[in-house]
């Protein structure tokens, strides 16, 4: 479907940007070169009358994307997680995008449930309500299981939403190719990579089996977290286009008057939001990456309940350790150690000056720590940190950008519940505990044990590997050129493998 016929879609897009006043905002945010600005004006200005008017009460970018429809709304939401691409100002505008759309009929939803689950809706559910929430991709119904009487939430994809998104994604690819062709200098923004990232996220959200799996994994990770819960997944009533979870009663975390009326401790809730996010990011390496107020409820018993698992973040263990050491270094104001961590992790090129980098980090940290405790922001600190590391040659790391964006959102939720919250006071024990568990003799012993276990899986192959290396060495023994000899690292690796295997054998014996 990617082809010239999508030009009409692009003309309508640029015409809407022009008509809503968003053209200048977008071009400036992307730092578009002159030739790209000219092409955008040619496609937009003469056809502005074809553009959608949108809601004039909204900011220009938000107004344009909302008018253009679901795919554009979702694209804007995802771009809001990439301030490295669109800049801080536009990212901030895009964060307020709401994808609330008119619902489709309950009759259609029931037919989709029957087709997907191969069941009779009236037999499975004793109650099936009108839509209680409708977004760009799906809508939610309140229902009750006929056999147990349990209340559940049934999420159903919009009819033909996959085809609609695919058409718009095809147009996005055409635009990305045009940008790379017309403005080679804009390739630094990696437009094709941005669209591929968007496509991956959206295609994942359009398969509710993946969201169901995310909810189940998140629930398993957090089952022991006091004061935090995830709705139970109903696998037998979930499929590609339908997802069923236990229904959760509660107050939206953004409804402060209702929270007060229910008698909940807002100070404790604000601290718990931040503490849980850090625990999930550091302890599990798997966190809710869309923890805004609409996706958090306060249950009658005071628990925080997470909803909507379409966007989740994952960080590998090594990156978590680096992230924790960076935060810990800032908490202790040990800027030289923070700089060393960046070099050790390879984030900053080795030819840069570590002392100069530490000095730049001090310029980031000191102004923030000089603020009143209630104004200190970890999200702002990470944002400034990325600006400095970019100047020193650090490549963009998408997982850290997503983490930083979520940190900003979580801080906003925490402060709305408890305006006097001290972010660092809440974060410090979480980070310190993780450091104790992940860095030090115990952590080293645990890592060596894991390494030995992995090496033991290759135990039967170790003799053949050793023999092959010895044969190659003997065949090349007369060749003294360095590139023809076995690299010493191979011998070290073989020795390590043998030692690891020995350790495992010793453990078994």
Could you read off the pLDDT of 30-79 as tens digits, one per residue?
A: 667 777 677 777 766 776 777 788 888 888 888 888 888 888 888 787 77
Strand 304-306 to strand 228-229: parallel, antiparallel, or no bridges (unpaired)? parallel
Q: Give the whole-angstrom CA distance, residue 62 versus residue 49.
A: 19
Q: What is the dihedral angle through the alpha carbons of 25, 31, 35, 38, rounded to the nearest 10 degrees?
A: 10
Do the beta carbons of residue 251 and residue 293 sit within 8 Å? no
| DSSP element (H, E) containing 71 | helix 70-79
CATH number assigned to the domain covering 105-158+207-247: 3.30.200.20
Give the mean pLDDT of 251-272: 92
Residue 17: is its pLDDT beyond 80? yes
Collapsing DSSP states into helix, strand and coil, what is residue 502? helix
Give the mean pLDDT of 286-306: 91
Which pLDDT score is estimated for 215? Answer: 95
- Which of 34-43, 231-240, 491-500 is least confident? 491-500
> Catalytic residue at 290?
yes
Count Cα neighbours of 28 within 13 Å in the Cβ-side half-sphere. Answer: 11
- Ranges of each domain in the chain: 4-99+164-182, 105-158+207-247, 251-439, 448-508
- In terms of pLDDT, which residue wins out, 373 or 154? 154
Q: Rounded to whole angstroms, what are the CA distances from 37 to 40, 130, 394, 493?
A: 5, 46, 29, 54
- Binned at pLDDT 50, 70 and 90, residue 185 comes out as low
Among residues 122, 290, 433, 447, which one is catalytic?
290
Global pTM reads: 0.74
Residue 405: is its pLDDT beyond 90? no
- In terms of pLDDT, which residue wins out, 99 or 143? 143
Q: Is 481 exposed, middle or buried (0-12, 13-18, 19+ CB in 10 A)?
A: exposed
- In terms of pLDDT, which residue wins out, 295 or 380? 295
- Binned at pLDDT 50, 70 and 90, residue 506 comes out as very low
Count CB neighbours of 446 within 10 A: 12
């Amino acid at each position: 479907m990617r082809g010239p016929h999508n030009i009409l879609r692009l003309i309508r897009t640029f015409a809407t940007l022009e008509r809503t006043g968003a053209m200048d905002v977008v071009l400036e945010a992307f730092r578009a070169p002159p030739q790209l600005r000219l092409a955008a004006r040619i496609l937009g200005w003469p056809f502005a009358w074809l553009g959608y008017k949108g809601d004039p009460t909204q900011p220009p970018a938000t107004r344009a994307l909302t008018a253009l429809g679901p795919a554009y709304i979702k694209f804007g939401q995802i771009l809001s997680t990439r301030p490295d691409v669109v800049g801080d100002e536009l990212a901030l505008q895009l964060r307020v995008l709401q994808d609330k759309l008119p619902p489709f009929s309950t009759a259609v939803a029931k037919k989709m449930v029957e087709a997907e689950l191969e069941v009779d809706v009236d037999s499975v559910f004793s109650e099936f309500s009108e839509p209680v929430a409708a977004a760009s991709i799906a809508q939610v119904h309140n229902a009750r299981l006929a056999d147990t009487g349990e209340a559940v939430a049934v999420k159903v994809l919009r009819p033909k939403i996959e085809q609609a998104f695919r058409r718009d994604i095809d147009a996005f690819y055409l635009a990305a190719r045009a940008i790379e062709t017309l403005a080679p200098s804009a390739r630094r923004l990696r437009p094709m990579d941005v669209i591929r990232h968007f496509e991956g996220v959206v295609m994942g959200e359009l398969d509710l089996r993946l969201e169901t799996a995310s909810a189940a994994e998140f629930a398993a990770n957090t089952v022991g977290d006091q004061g935090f819960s995830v709705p139970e997944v109903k696998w037998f009533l979930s499929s590609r286009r339908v997802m069923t979870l236990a229904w959760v009663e509660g107050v939206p975390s953004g409804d402060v008057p209702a929270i007060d009326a229910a008698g909940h401790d807002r100070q404790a809730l604000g601290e718990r939001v931040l503490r849980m996010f850090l625990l999930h990011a550091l302890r599990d390496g798997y966190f809710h990456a869309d923890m805004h107020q609409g996706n958090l409820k306060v249950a009658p018993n005071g628990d925080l309940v997470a909803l909507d698992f379409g966007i989740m973040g994952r960080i590998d263990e090594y990156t978590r350790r680096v992230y924790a050491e960076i935060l810990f270094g800032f908490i202790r104001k040990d800027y030289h150690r923070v700089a060393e961590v960046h070099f050790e992790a390879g984030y900053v090129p080795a030819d840069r000056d570590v002392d100069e980098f530490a000095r730049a980090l001090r310029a980031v940290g000191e102004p923030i720590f000089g603020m009143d405790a209630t104004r200190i922001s970890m999200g702002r600190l990470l944002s400034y940190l990325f600006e400095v590391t970019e100047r020193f040659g650090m490549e963009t790391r998408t997982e850290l950008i997503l983490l930083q964006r979520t940190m900003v959102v979580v801080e906003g939720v925490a402060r709305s519940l408890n305006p006097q919250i001290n972010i660092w006071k809440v974060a410090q024990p979480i980070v310190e505990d993780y450091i104790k568990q992940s860095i030090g003799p115990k952590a080293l012993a645990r890592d060596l044990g894991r390494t030995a276990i992995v090496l033991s899986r290759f135990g039967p192959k170790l003799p053949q590997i050793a023999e092959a290396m010895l044969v190659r060495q003997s065949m090349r023994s007369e060749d003294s050129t360095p590139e023809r000899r076995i690299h010493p690292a191979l011998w070290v690796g073989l020795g390590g493998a043998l030692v690891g295997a020995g350790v495992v054998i010793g453990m078994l014996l």
